[in-house]
Amino acid sequence: MPRTVKLAEAPPPDGLTPAPDRDEIDRRLADAFGEARRAYAVSPILAPLFDRMAEFVLRGGKRLRPRLCLASYRIVSGQPDPPPGPVWLAAASLELFHAFMLVHDDLIDGSTLRRDRPTLHESLRLGADEPGSTAAGKRAADLGLLAGDLLCALGTRMIHRSGLDDDALGRAGRLISDMLVETGLGEALDVMADDCPLDRLAEGPLVEAYLRKTARYTVSGPMVLGATIAGAGPGVCQALDRFGDLLGFGYQVQNDLASLGEDPEYGDHADLDGGKRTYVLWAAYQALSPAGRRALAEALGAPPSLERRYRMLDLIRSAGAVEHCQDRLAAAQREAVAVLRASRLDAVQRRSFIALVELFHLKRRPTAAMVTRARSTALEL
């Protein structure tokens, strides 16, 4: 059973996700890649692909999922000291599953950049003898798909070799299997919404896609994994699952808003240029007048361009969609706190989980570029 600690002993937020965690997670990942490469990729033909996979995983990222898993373990176990080795490996495996999903997501979206550097399939194309050829692009996409599959397999391998006891490993395996199925279904919902007419876009399926594609493997799954390894009962895990779903939904909406806040004239704007059916786009359409809705539909149907980006940002701003999403974020955060208050967690544990909300920056205000435009085209819609 988890140890109950006094209020004065509650670890501060920095103690739940200390900075050295990132280095330790990366060390565990690098060791796992090195061991697997020696076991499976000694061939000079396969070794470069394996090295690109390792570089893709280790070159950046917040390590949010492993950090949440470790924080949840610390909170439920009542032990803020460095967790045991098997817990580190179980947490680090989440980064491999995340990388697997990113690789496939980049292929689906046709993205060439990830974290300001080439995506995995794009790096494979650029490394070909004739990177501009159709054959090189096809081969890179095929290898990227396979690399994603391999990353999923390596994540499974890592957790099964973590050293967790049989009971904990069984619970963790079931949880991760469910998490991966949920994420795949969420991705399918996301793809099926890509060309959905705005007048048929409904809030329910959008929220379901956000929960399945983002919340379950970004927040709910990692937190419940850490808690279940620490010995949490079903009631606590159910509360954390709902708490994580609410935070995860907010996290995805926050990302949507942040992408709108980037300078329209620079960089990759996948949501705007691809006409991504996001929650903020749905909110804009609901609030616009009939003329505004027609203008938004026309903008979505036009070829990607700088002017199209500005026009869509204008329409989103004039609809008050940013403010609507901010209100929705605040409501999700309030509900998440209420879920914890009604749970079987003690006061110290509840306070510690609430402190983790800061990792998601749900209170952050949008940048000026999100709510204003750099060009003057007055719209009265």
Per residue in 326-371, pLDDT tens? 999 999 989 998 999 999 999 999 999 988 877 765 444 444 344 3
Task: Give pTM, 2 decimals.
Answer: 0.87
Report the C-alpha gap between 370 and 376 in whole angstroms: 15
Residue span(s) of the chain under CATH 1.10.600.10 come to: 1-164, 166-381
DSSP string, 253-307: HHHHHHHHTS-TTSS--HHHHTT---HHHHHHHHHS-HHHHHHHHHHHHSPP-HH
CATH class, 166-381 region? mainly alpha
Per residue in 52-67, pLDDT tens? 999 999 998 889 999 9
Distances in Å between the alpha carbon of 185 and those of 161, 191, 211, 274, 286? 27, 10, 10, 21, 26
Architecture of domain 1-164: Orthogonal Bundle (1.10)
Q: Return the half-sphere exposure (C-beta side, CA atoms, 13 A cut-off) of residue 347.
A: 4
The helix/strand/coil state of 114 is strand
pLDDT given at position 361: 58
**The one-letter amino acid at 43:** S
Report the C-alpha gap between 76 and 2 in whole angstroms: 6
Query: Residues in the chain with pLDDT < 50?
Result: 1-12, 362-381
> 176 and 225 in contact (C-beta within 8 Å)?
yes
pLDDT given at position 136: 93
